[in-house]
């Protein structure tokens, strides 16, 4: 059950005259400080101002009118006109007892199931994945898990760049400098070498190479048999290399329709846009102007080639026809903001306005020097080596903290802790901001890290081991969950909040709403653990009640981390 929404509905229903029930209801927030109760309705101040009434009097009248039973009693008027809501202890106990038997952790089916296409990861395939690919991959995967966790239908779509100019560069490299033996031994490394060779020549100002590479791309697109044949030969190796990284990260897709898939549709897209008067000729190219924006969306270049945006338009049409989505999320770097603004505007005028198209933008990963994260030699950081390094760093932490585990187990834990640290460091940022990559911060045992949460989880498993009791035994005894101690109560209220947190995270498309919650949950647990003896509780009833709180905390941490794509371990 979503407690916040229930309270918002109750306050919305008694909105004083002159107010907007939606705005008035949504001014209910979780309280920052338990002194002010569990939730706070803050709508009276703004409304009082706009209808020129005394805010405290207005709050008093809302207090009389609102009915929060059985969740809470009458709210309390406080300060300049706040209404503080305190949940009934008995109600909290009841809900926690219900949660014990609920493997959906309080999540109920949504009122209306939405179909959400998530376009994420979407790398350009002919070069190895690098650090820049983490954010889209990890944020997109987490959003997919969160939407699915809420009961929506998700289509995970990896819109790979498998048709772009980088293939022209590789084709040029292949034809001028290939090493067949090296390709046979390790195709991706050889292709990467050829790509880098072309790249460095072009960067160095070699116009001839640039033109030759472009000509190879044009030939590929035009259907040249040799280039098509080479493309079909290169692709499986490129895809296998990507798949290796996805498998390691535990990321999967429902469809992987790269740009090449849409190539046969592009001519018709351009023709249709021209026929509808949305695209026009400009300086030899075909473009769609967008009101308020200087540059148009180019859909056919002067040389006849189609563009990134042309493919994106074809993709919008295909997705609409195939899945009829309610929402399409593009998890892509902020720097492509203008592209998506143009794209969405053109799509809407083209008639594809059924789905909400949203650019889920994110900032850049920075190095310690606050410049985009590079290796010491100034190269982009390869994704695989970064993951390896994460595991090496995590291994140091595991070795130091868990000498009791054997070697294999420590290696297994280090993989989970290392990958968890990288993912969590990314997901716990407001996705719009840039952030500085810092091993020691992301692997800290205390603070807002995956390591801290994984450790809290493992500690709870340790309590069950030491008490020689299994969570299902406690559940089977149907204990009452007591919340008379403030630390028990604070933990209990947190545990009930998961459904509302996930809805907020989904609405804002921000996994950090979930990470913040899990961090607060682990903190509440830590206070509880310090103040409330569990195995040595004063009575069997208390002991079971506290074990139940431990169990619920562990299950919530595990589910929450799973929705971030992060695993837990029983010992660390």
Residues that bind ligand ARG (CB under 6 A): 119, 122-124, 159, 161, 312, 315, 330, 332
SS3 sequence, 231-263?
HHHHHHHHHHHHHHHHHHHCCCCCECCCHHHHH
User: Which CB sits closer to ligand ARG, 120 or 439?
Assistant: 120
The minimum distance between CB 110 and ligand ARG, in angstroms, equals: 26
CA distance 398 to 400: 5
CA distance 312 to 334: 17
User: Which CB sits closer to ligand ARG, 360 or 482?
Assistant: 360
- Supply 96's token pair: 């926690």
User: Which CB sits closer to ligand ARG, 361 or 487?
Assistant: 361
Nearest Cα to 390, choosing from 423, 424, 418, 425? Answer: 418
User: Which CB sits closer to ligand ARG, 59 or 357?
Assistant: 357
The minimum distance between CB 240 and ligand ARG, in angstroms, equals: 19
CB proximity list for 233: less than 8 A, separation 6 or greater: none
Q: Three-class SS of residue 372?
A: strand
CA distance 337 to 360: 9
User: Which CB sits closer to ligand ARG, 158 or 428?
Assistant: 158
CA atoms within a 13 Å half-sphere pointing along the CA-CB vector of 379? 12
Q: Three-class SS of residue 428?
A: coil
User: Which CB sits closer to ligand ARG, 126 or 230?
Assistant: 126
Query: Residue 267 CB: number of other CB atoms within 10 A?
Result: 13
User: Which CB sits closer to ligand ARG, 307 or 428?
Assistant: 307
Q: What is the DSSP string of 148-165?
A: HHTT-EEEEE---B-SSH
Number of residue whose CB is nearest ligand ARG: 161
User: Which CB sits closer to ligand ARG, 2 or 121?
Assistant: 121
The minimum distance between CB 229 and ligand ARG, in angstroms, equals: 24
CA distance 188 to 501: 42
Instruction: Find where tokens 């045992």 sit.
Output: 445
Beta-bridge partners for 360: 331
**Angle at Cα 371 formed by Cα 431 and Cα 139, nearest 5°?**
20
The minimum distance between CB 204 and ligand ARG, in angstroms, equals: 23
User: Which CB sits closer to ligand ARG, 159 or 201?
Assistant: 159
CA distance 475 to 121: 41
The minimum distance between CB 119 and ligand ARG, in angstroms, equals: 5
The minimum distance between CB 164 and ligand ARG, in angstroms, equals: 8
Q: Are 168 and 213 in contact (CB under 8 A)?
A: yes
Considering Cα of 361, then 366, then 370, then 376, what sign does the dihedral take? negative
User: Which CB sits closer to ligand ARG, 91 or 163?
Assistant: 163
User: Which CB sits closer to ligand ARG, 253 or 330?
Assistant: 330
Nearest Cα to 194, choosing from 227, 223, 160, 234? Answer: 234
φ, ψ for residue 242, nearest 5 deg: -65, -45
CB proximity list for 494: less than 8 A, separation 6 or greater: 517, 520, 521, 524
Q: Three-class SS of residue 115?
A: strand
């Amino acid at each position: 059950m979503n407690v916040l929404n229930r309270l918002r509905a109750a306050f919305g229903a008694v909105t004083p005259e002159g107010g907007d029930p939606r705005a008035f209801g949504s001014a209910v927030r979780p309280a920052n400080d338990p002194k002010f109760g569990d939730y706070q309705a803050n709508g009276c101040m703004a409304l009082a101002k706009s209808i020129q009434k005394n805010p405290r009097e207005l709050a008093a009248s809302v207090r009389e009118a609102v009915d929060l039973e059985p969740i809470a009693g009458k709210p309390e008027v406080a300060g300049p006109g706040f209404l503080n809501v305190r949940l009934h202890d008995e109600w909290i106990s009841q809900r926690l007892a219900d949660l014990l038997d609920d493997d959906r952790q309080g999540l109920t089916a949504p009122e209306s199931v939405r179909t959400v296409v998530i376009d994420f990861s979407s790398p350009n395939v002919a070069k190895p994945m690098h650090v820049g690919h983490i954010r889209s991959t990890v944020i997109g995967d987490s959003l997919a898990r969160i939407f699915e966790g809420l009961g929506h239908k998700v289509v995970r779509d990896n819109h790979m760049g498998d048709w772009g100019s980088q293939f022209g560069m590789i084709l040029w490299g292949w034809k001028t400098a290939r090493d067949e033996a090296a390709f046979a031994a390790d195709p991706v490394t050889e292709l990467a070498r050829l790509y880098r060779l072309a790249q460095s020549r072009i960067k160095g100002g070699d116009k001839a190479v640039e033109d030759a590479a472009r000509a190879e791309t044009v030939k590929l697109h035009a259907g040249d048999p040799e280039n098509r044949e080479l493309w079909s030969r290169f692709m499986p190796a490129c895809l296998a290399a990507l798949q290796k990284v996805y498998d390691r990260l535990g990321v999967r897709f429902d469809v992987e329709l790269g740009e090449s898939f849409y190539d046969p549709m592009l001519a018709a897209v351009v023709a249709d846009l021209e026929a509808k008067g949305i695209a026009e000729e400009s300086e030899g190219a075909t473009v769609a102007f967008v009101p308020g924006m200087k540059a148009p969306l180019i859909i056919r270049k002067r040389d006849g080639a189609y563009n990134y945006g042309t493919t994106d338009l074809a993709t919008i049409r295909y997705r609409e026809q195939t899945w009829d989505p309610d929402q399409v999320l593009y998890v892509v770097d902020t720097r492509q903001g203008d592209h998506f603004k143009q794209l969405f505007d053109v799509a809407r005028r083209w008639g594809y306005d059924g789905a909400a198209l949203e650019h889920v933008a994110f900032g850049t990963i920075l190095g310690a020097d606050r410049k985009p994260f590079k290796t010491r030699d100034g190269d982009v950081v390869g994704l695989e080596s970064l993951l390896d390094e994460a595991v090496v760093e995590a291994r140091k932490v595991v070795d130091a903290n868990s000498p009791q585990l054997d070697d294999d187990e420590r290696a297994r834990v280090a993989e989970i802790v290392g990958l968890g640290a990288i993912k969590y460091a990314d997901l716990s940022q407001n996705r719009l901001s840039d952030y500085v990559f810092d091993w020691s911060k992301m692997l800290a045992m205390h603070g807002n890290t995956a390591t801290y949460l994984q450790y809290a989880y493992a500690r709870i498993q340790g309590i069950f081991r030491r008490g020689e009791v299994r969570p299902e035994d406690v559940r089977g005894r149907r204990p009452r969950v007591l919340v008379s101690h403030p630390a028990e109560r604070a933990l209990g209220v947190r545990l009930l909040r998961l459904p509302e947190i996930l809805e907020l995270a989904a609405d804002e498309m921000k996994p950090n709403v979930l990470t913040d919650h899990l961090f607060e949950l682990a903190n509440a647990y830590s206070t509880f653990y310090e103040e409330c003896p569990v195995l040595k509780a004063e009575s069997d009833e208390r002991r079971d009640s506290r074990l139940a709180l431990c169990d619920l905390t562990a299950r919530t941490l595990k589910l929450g981390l799973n929705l971030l794509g992060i695993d837990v371990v029983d010992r660390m």
